[in-house]
Structure 1
Amino acid sequence: MQHRYDPEPSYDPRSWSRPRPVAAPPVPPIAKAAPAAARRNPISLLAGVAVTLGGAILAYAARPANDPAVAPTPAPAAPVGVSYDQRVLNIASATAIAPTLRSLGIAPADADRTADLAQQALGDTSGLLRLDVTLAGATLHAATVTHADGGGVAIERGGNGALVAKALTARLTRRLRFVRGELDGNSFYSSAVAAGVSDVLVGPFANAFRYDFDIQREISAGDVFEAGFEERVNADGDVVGTPRLVYASLATAAKTRALYQYRLPGDAEAEWFDSSGRSSRRSLMRTPVDAARISSGFGMRGHPILGFRKMHRGTDFAAPTGTPVFAAGDATVTFATMKGPNGNFVRLRHDNGWETLYLHLNRIAPAIVPGSRVGQGTQIGEVGTTGRSTGPHLHYEVHIEGQAVDPMSIETGGGRAIPTAAMAAFRKVRDAIDAKRAKAM
């Protein structure tokens, strides 16, 4: 039987060609009549018959004892004019299986049975699926439905002609990739994406350095960054799921930092550590809002509304309305409501006695009430322009012993060190990353 597979998938069933029937084998030519001389020689003819009969008798006598005398029934010949066609389609969810199969001309009973078997194996799943269909004419011969990771279900006809399903296990491998780039004159985001960093990793990369760098103010064109991230790859070499950032480095004219992600035993989440095993985390975040630019710093300035020079007791971060605002450190909420020109206003008292203030919020998170505890990085509200404000921004203050200080200049304290008992495991992770990075770079 001849098999034909189309090299490229089609997404429009109307454009697909009908299966081309296999050509029947050529009929052998009719033998010509024997020469006249042969017809006039009956003695030769009888001799040939005798030899043939003698050979048959000897073959019969020499056959094995258990060989049946009746010749076996020959296998049925493949139906003439039938070939296999394979179609590959992307479908939005498992609910699209039956309609898609019907659109190929497959019998509704087979289409529905295939969909039922697939949904039983896949469960109540949504998201893009790959549907591979093998047709024998207009009859369903086999089908597979798979996720991007290769997991799914294979459906084919059993010996009795019924459709049966077999689960397919996901086949993923992990690989570590490294990219290096220089900052352009536009933004860290555009620089990172141009270098090959997935856009979903730009935020985690910036957050890794939120205690060491003000990404908006302390980096400039020509500064060098590196990112190492783990990807899961399927059998076709396609990346499946979201990559995970495991290494980040940033080198500016003033300083260089390289960090490794590691989760200590007993910790719920991984943390960033330098090569010596000291955490990058500090008692306070440098910037408690993502993707913001400093629009006004700490110190004397001409007030944009009142018109006279006035002490600006904090730092303003301009960002779109609704941008999340985070607690700069572990703290207790002492104030959370509207307050005149401050607009929606939150005050936090931290465990070391310092206070941080967040003004002009668009809204305050419902759980942020006086007396509640927040962890560093917990969202407490959103950027807004409530109160005395000329546009959406966060006004952020840090108070030490009741006095406002420049949030961008204070020393926020050193991070914790990895315990001695866990250092060997950390070094193993660090050294593996460094070895692969050395080969990649």
Structure 2
Amino acid sequence: AGSYDVKIVPENVSVAPRATADDQAPAFAEEIIPFTKDLDVTEAFADSGYTGEDATGMAEAIAKLLNATALKDGTVLRVGLEVHGDAAKVVRTSVYDRTQHIVTIALDDRGQYVPSQEPDPNPELLTAFDDSSAPVVVRGNLPNIYDGIYRTAYSYGMSKAMTQRLIKLLASGVDFQSRLNPADRLEVLFSQPDGDDQTSDDSELLYVSATFGGTTRNFYRFQMQDGSTDYFDQDGSSAEQFLLRNPLPNGRFTSGFGARKHPILGYVRMHTGTDWAAPIGSPIIAAGNGVVEKAGWAGGYGKQIILRHANGYETSYNHQSAFAKGIEPGVRVRQGQVIGYLGQTGLSTGPHLHYELIVNGTKVDSMRVRLPVGKVLKGDDLVAFKRERERIDDLLKQEDSDSLKVASAKIDG
């Protein structure tokens, strides 16, 4: 039981001095604590790193209201936290039977624990008992998928721009830092090759089939009635997901979301995002389509970009060394577009990206939350897409063509 397991990595993490209310306005975050067995409420808080009077008081209030000190397997605590710097205080807790709300208790202005309304939905509740976990850190010198894609694409004669487009296309469904597998395979079809079978200025990436970790994904290029172009799987679902969980394609996961107790000082630190390490200057991409809400300095966060997405979602990218050209408030960006470059500005122990996901003003775990699905073709667009898919499938069967280049190979390091 308790919160999700995370590894505390002392290098490349965001650090900040303990803040007081006078130092900065508090932020609000939530942590989801699922019960996989019957467990005492106080123990559940402690297992997740909350051992102060705020957590003890909240546990006692829950036990009194529900007339039970222990809660059953399948219970979920949705813990609301007021965060000052890296210090977190429990100010609200909702109790659920899986996704069914039972009760919410909040700390009022007089310091009393009182029943309260259920807060706005948190999509992370839907994945409280999922088996998914933080990415596995790949160690050693074994080649990873990210490097393998680049090497293979260049061997095909694909340009740098087309290779970057390929990386963006696969970003939502492929863990680029995973080891390559002997069965991994990449097949692409592009138009207008030059005399040496290299991409030309007029080339377009028409089709991609990528097999990684035993899972194959096929994507077709399609222009919709409104003139926009995107890539879709064989059923007409967009390759572009609503938001990416990792906006640093060559990043190495180092630290997850949640509370952890400082090993020396003893107080609870709240980590309100996920950290990804990579060399300084590595490109950071937009996690989804949106509008730049902020691009500037943000105290301990250093150089920060905040993007506003649809339906109350925001993403925050911190400790950057520089912003990409043209990135300023009010500018629209597309998923996969380079918006900045990795750095260690602000309060940071090493070069890394501290990435945060905010839903309706509350910071949530980007690795656990269930995100909205991407675009799905319907009506006339779906009919036209199926015709284009059949056309491309026919082209793939043609071995020789002056206007097309099919490249297929196993990926090796």
Instruction: Please state which band the TM-score falls in when normalised by the shorter chain.
Output: 0.5 to 0.7
> Could you say if the C-alpha distance between residues 357 and 305 of structure 1 is closer, same or farther in structure 2, counting changes exceeding 3 Å?
farther
Task: Select the residue among 275, 285, 309 that pairs with 2:244.
Answer: 285
Corresponding position of 2:299:
340
CA distance in 2 between counterparts of 1:420 and 1:401 reads 32
Which residue of the partner structure matches residue 430 of structure 1? 389
Structure 1 length-normalised TM: 0.50
2:307 is the counterpart of 1:324: no
Unaligned runs of 5+ in 1: 1-183
Question: Which amino acid in 2 is paired with 1:186?
Answer: P
Q: Name 1:203's counterpart in structure 2.
A: 164
Check whether the contact 1:332–1:350 (CA below 8 A) recurs between aligned residues. Answer: yes
C-alpha change, 1:221 and 1:406, in structure 2 (3 Å) is farther
**Alignment correspondent of 2:308:** 349
| Aligned with residue 372 of structure 2, among 380, 389, 413 | 413
CA displacement at 1:284 relative to structure 2: 1.4
Rate the CA distance shift 1:427–1:402 in 2: closer, same or farther, 3 A: same
**Structure 2 residue 340 is the aligned partner of structure 1 residue 387:** no
Equivalent residue in structure 2 for 1:259, among 215, 219, 222: 219
Please report how far the alpha carbon of residue 186 of structure 1 lies from its aligned counterpart in structure 2 after TM superposition: 0.4
Higher relative contact order (CA 8 A, sep 6+): 2
Could you give the per-residue CA deviations for residues 385-408 of structure 1, whole angstroms, max 9, x where no partner exists?
101112222110102233322212
The secondary structure found in structure 1 opposite 2:247 is coil
Please tell me whether Structure 1 or Structure 2 has the larger radius of gyration of its CA atoms.
1
Q: Unaligned stretches of 5+ in structure 2?
A: 1-140, 400-407, 409-413
Distance 1:295 1:249, change over 3 A: farther
Q: 1:415 to 1:224 in 2, by over 3 A?
A: same
* Alignment partners' CA distance in 2, 1:198 and 1:303: 51
Q: 1:233 to 1:251 in 2, by over 3 A?
A: closer
Distance 1:285 1:304, change over 3 A: farther
* Mapping 1:242-257, distance limit 5 Å: 243-253=203-213, 255-257=215-217
Check the 8 A contact 1:357/1:396 in 2, yes or no.
yes
The one-letter amino acid paired with 2:224 is L
Q: Compute the displacement of 1:340 (Å).
A: 2.1
Percent identical pairs in the alignment equals: 34
CA positional deviation for 1:378? 4.3
Deviation at 1:264, TM superposition (A): 1.6
Secondary structure of 1:352's aligned partner: helix
Q: Give the Å deviation of 1:355.
A: 1.8
Q: CA deviation at 1:352?
A: 0.7
Change over 3 Å in CA distance of 1:380–1:194 after alignment to 2: closer
- The answer to whether the Cα contact below 8 Å between 1:368 and 1:380 also exists between their aligned partners in 2 is yes
Root mean square deviation, CA, Å: 3.4
**Per the alignment, in what secondary structure is the counterpart of residue 241 of structure 1?**
coil
Rounded to whole Å, the distance in 1 between the matches of 2:211 and 2:197 is 32
Evaluate the alpha carbon distance shift between residue 305 and residue 397 of structure 1 in structure 2; reply closer, same or farther with a 3 A threshold: farther
1:191 to 148, 152, 158: 148
Q: TM-score, normalised by structure 2?
A: 0.53
